Amino acid sequence: MSTEIELVTCIVPTYNRPQLLARCLDSIRNQDYSNIETIVVDNGILPETRQVIQNAQNSGMLITHISHGKTIPAFNNWLAGLMAAKSEFIKIVWDDDWLEATCVSKLVRLKQELGADAIMCGAYGHVGQKDYVWYQQEDFVSNSFMETFPMIARRLLPNSPLAILMRRNDAIDAMTLLNYPQGAISDNLVVGPDLAMNFWALAKGGKLVFIKDPLVHMYGDGTNMTQLHEKILPALYRETLRNLTKHFGYKLGLKNRLLLNSTTSSRYTPIRILGKLLHWS
C-alpha cells in the first residue's frame, strides 16, 4: 500500500519567531511524503511571520494561515489548528522544532502496517550548545495502558506531540475533556494537555507503536515555555497523570490494578510511581 495516499496535517503553532518558523516549514516541505497539508496557527502579530508563510506558499507548499490578530492563550491557539485540520491523523510541529525528511512517511507506514492509533518516535534534543538523542528504549507495540503507564511516569516515552502521529479527534478530546489547573491554560503553560494528547488513544484502549529512530528535532534556546517554567512542570506532569488515571480508571480496571500492585516489591509498579509523583515537589 502506498503511503502517498493518505492526507496528513502538520499543525505549526508559532509566536513571533519568523526565523525559527522558516526552518520548521523547510523541514515539512522537504518530507519524502507528498500528501501533507500544513496549518500555521499564528499567535503573534509580526509581519515577518506572514512573509515567511508567503515564501513557503510560493514554493508550492499547501499552507493554511490562521491568524487571530492578537495573542491568545497557547491552548486555544493549538486547538484552532486541530479544528481546522482536514485529515484523520495529525502531527504538531512547534515553530522552533523540525523534522527529519523521512519522519512522516515512516510513521504513516507503521500506522498502516500495524493498524496503530498512535505512533511515537525517538528525538534529537538541542539545548544550548549540547545535542542529545532522547527516548532510546527498544521498539515496541502495546495495546495496554497498564503496560506503558510505568514508562510514562518515568518519562521514558515522549511527552511532546512533536514525537507522535495521532488521530485528530484524540488530540481534540485530550485538550477539551480533561480538567487541568486553570493556570495551565490562562498562563500559557500547557504541558499537561500536550502530555495527555500523547497517551489519550492508548488510555482509550488503542494500539501504541514506538520506534527509537530519532525522527524529530526538539530545540531549546532558553526561551520556550518548558525551559522558562521548569519549576512548575512536575506539578503539571503529575496533574495530567492523575487526570488520565481518574478519567480512564474504571474502564481500564486501573484502580483495582493499582491497589493490587501496592503490595508488591517492585519499585516501578504503577501505585508506587504514582505515589511518588503525587508527592513530587
CATH of residue 136:
3.90.550.10
Domain presence at residue 3: no
The total number of structural domains in the chain stands at 1
> What is d(CA 220, CA 6) in angstroms, rounded to the nearest whole number?
32
Stated pTM of the model: 0.82
Domain presence at residue 2: no
DSSP state string for 225-275: HHHHTGGGHHHHHHHHHHHHHHHHHHHHTHHHHHHHHTTS--TTSHHHHHH
Closest CA to 219 of 96, 52, 46: 96
Closest CA to 123 of 196, 26, 212, 11: 212
Domain presence at residue 120: yes
Question: How do beta strands 118-127 and 98-99 pair?
Answer: unpaired
Q: Which residue has the cell 500536550?
A: 194
**pLDDT tens, per residue, the chain with 281 residues:** 444 589 999 999 999 999 999 999 999 999 999 999 999 999 999 999 999 999 999 999 999 999 998 888 888 899 999 999 999 999 999 999 999 999 999 999 999 999 999 999 999 999 878 899 999 889 999 998 878 888 887 888 988 899 999 999 999 888 876 555 444 444 555 566 777 888 888 878 899 999 999 999 998 766 665 555 566 667 777 777 777 777 666 455 544 444 334 333 344 444 444 544 444 33
Q: Which domain holds residue 36?
A: 8-278
> What is d(CA 198, CA 175) in angstroms, rounded to the nearest whole number?
11
